[in-house]
Amino acid sequence: MYLIIVGAGKIGSNLIEMATGDGNDVVVVEQDEEVANEISSTYDCLVLNADATDNTILEDAGIDRADAIISTTNIDAVNTMVMLLAREYDVPSLISVVHDPAHIPIFEKIGVNIVENPQQLIADHLYHSVRYPGIKDFMTLSENSEFIEIEPADGSVITQHPLSEARAEGLLPEDVLVAAIKRGEDVLTPKGDTVLSSGDLVTVLVNDTSVDEVLSTFGHGSNGS
């Protein structure tokens, strides 16, 4: 792929490393001369030490043939301008970091695939790790619902009943959905007669009122109040 990456800070530099490591054609636009020189000497990519909000710079970067443009600066106004310019060139994939949640509707209106404030995402994960130590990972869907990944503990009640029976006996609330099971290298579709085992990595849709009950059923306590 031909990728243009705007901004070579912490996020951008990690992205550059992954993209060049996979053999993609990468052009980096970085306004800070020292950072631009460091990226140029470290990675196999073209680096333009310039302001990406200048339309001619994106033309120099080859935006007319780019498969994607990814803006990673720490200023939402800059990221917005880059995305607007890229849209004029019909770049197939527009991706940007968004630091202020209030700006998300602007990016969505442009048609950008967004990554919310990375610092906030890290904080969310850390807080989940403290409050719900049994949860391996999570993905927020709305203000009060999310997918969680959780492993049944040895001897937990969920490992002693088929899923349909667990539902009938109220071990799983009605609004909880067991969506997928990773067992070893296999990904299984849950069925009524499926019995979970310790070691399974289970993806479950929960909400604020059901997460503690699910944790208990899977044999994990909660540190929440």
- The pTM (predicted TM-score) of the whole model is 0.64
pLDDT of residue 67: 95
For the chain, domain boundaries: 2-116, 122-217
pLDDT for 153 beyond 60: yes
CA 196-170-209 angle, to 5 degrees, is 95
Other CB atoms within a 10 A radius of the CB of residue 128 amount to 18
- d(Cα 194, Cα 39) in Å, to the nearest integer? 51
Give strand pairing partners of 187: 182
Query: Which residues does residue 7 pair with via DSSP β-bridges, in sequence order?
Result: none
The pLDDT, as a whole number, for residue 89 is 93
- Architecture of the structural domain at 122-217: 2-Layer Sandwich (3.30)
Predicted local confidence at residue 96, as pLDDT: 95
Q: Which of 159, 148, 156, 218 is nearest to 194 (CA)?
A: 159
Residue 122 token pair: 């890290």
pLDDT band, residue 222 (cuts 50/70/90):
low
Looking at 1.10.10.10, 3.50.50.60, 3.20.20.70, 3.40.50.720, the CATH number of the domain 2-116 comes to 3.40.50.720
